[in-house]
Amino acid sequence: MHTQNLDPLELERYSRHLALPRFGEQGQLRLKQASVLIVGLGGLGSVSSLYLTSAGVGKIGLIEDDHVNLNNLQRQILYTTGEVGQSKLALAAQKLEAHNPTVAIKTHPHRLNADNAGAIVQEYDLVVDGTDNLVTRRVINQACVALDRPYIYGAVNLYDGQVSMFHASQGPCWACLFPESPQEPQPKRPEQLAVLNTVPAVIGALQATEAIKWIVGMEQTLIGKLLIYNALQASFEKIGIEKNPQCSVCGC
C-alpha cells in the first residue's frame, strides 16, 4: 500500500513513535503521507502546529492573516517579544520548517471565508480549528461536510476548554451541536477573551493528538463526543453529541 519508506534520519527522528504499540513504521508512514490544514495560529494553533510538525505529518497548511501583538505572547508560544508586529504566518512557517525540515509547510495568507474555503480545504485530509469565532467555525464546518473531511474542533474560555471531532459521514457535524440562531452571538471584544494561558496548550495538544490518532488509524476518536476540560477543578468530562436530523448543514 505504501510507496514511500522512511529514510535513516527519519527512522532516528521518529524512533519513539516507531517503538509504540499500534503505531510502528506503518503509523509513521501514514503521518508522512497525510496533510492537515490548521486554521488560525493563535494559542491553539501555536501548539497543534508544533506537535503536528514534530510528529511528521507530511504536509501542513497554515491559514492566518494577523500580526503578533504583545498580549498574544502570554499563550501563543510560537512567537517571541522581539517579533511583535510581524506576520504570524511567516514566523510560524519559518519556525515550523526549522523544527522539522522533512515537513512541507504551505501558507495561505487569508482569512477563511465561504468563497475560498472549498478550494483550500480540499487540498487536505483533515482540518484542525485554531480559530476563536463562530463565523469561521461555520465556514470550516460547511466545507468539511461538503468535502467529507474530518474537522477537529477546539475552543477555550476562562479556565475551560473543549475539543471534539466532527465527521458528518460518521456522526454529527459542528452545526448539529451549534445550530445557527437568529441571535447569533456577536464576536467577543478583546476584554472578553480572558483565558488561563495553559488552557489552549491543553486543548491544542488534544487536537493534535486526535489528528494523529485518526491519521494513524486508531479506532477510538472523539466523533460524537465532546471532551470538556476544567482547569480549576482539574477535571475532564466527556458528553455525547447526537446527530441532528434537521441540521441545516448535514441533515437530510
Point out which residues bind Zn ion (CB under 5 A): 173, 175-176, 247, 249-250
**Least separation in angstroms between CB 176 and Zn ion:** 4
Rounded least distance, CB 183 to Zn ion, Å:
20
Q: How far is the CB of 35 from Zn ion (least distance, A)?
A: 24
Minimum gap (Å) between residue 112 Cβ and Zn ion: 19
Torsion of CA 67, 73, 77, 82, to 10 degrees: 70
Closest CA to 104 of 138, 135, 59, 68: 59
Min CB(244)–Zn ion separation in Å: 6
Shortest Cβ 245–Zn ion spacing (Å) = 9
**Which residue, 51 or 224, is less far from Zn ion as judged by CB?**
224
Q: Which is nearer to Zn ion, 222 or 250 (CB)?
A: 250
Judged by beta carbon, residue 78 or residue 173, the one nearer Zn ion is 173
Q: Report the residue number whose CB is nearest to Zn ion.
A: 247
Closer CB to Zn ion, 6 or 175, in the complex: 175
Alpha-helical segments (H) within the chain: 8-13, 15-18, 24-33, 43-55, 88-99, 117-121, 134-147, 174-177, 198-216
Collect all residues with Cβ–Cβ distance below 8 Å to 195 and sequence separation of at least 6: 43, 75, 156, 157, 158, 159
Instruction: Give the span between the Cα atoms of 142 and 251, in whole angstroms.
Output: 12
Cβ 248 to Zn ion shortest distance, Å: 8
43 close to 89: Cβ distance less than 8 angstroms:
no
Nearer to Zn ion (CB atom), residue 173 or residue 208:
173
Instruction: Considering the complex, state which of residue 59 and residue 138 has its C-beta at the smaller distance from Zn ion.
Output: 138
Question: In the chain, what is the greatest distance between 2 CA atoms, to the nearest angstrom?
Answer: 57
Q: Which three cell numbers stand for residue 57?
A: 505529518
Name the residue nearer to Zn ion (CB basis): 103 or 117. 117
Query: At 49, which amino acid appears?
Result: S
The answer to whether 21 touches 66, Cβ cutoff 8 Å, is no
Per the CB < 8 A criterion, the answer to whether 152 and 207 are in contact is yes
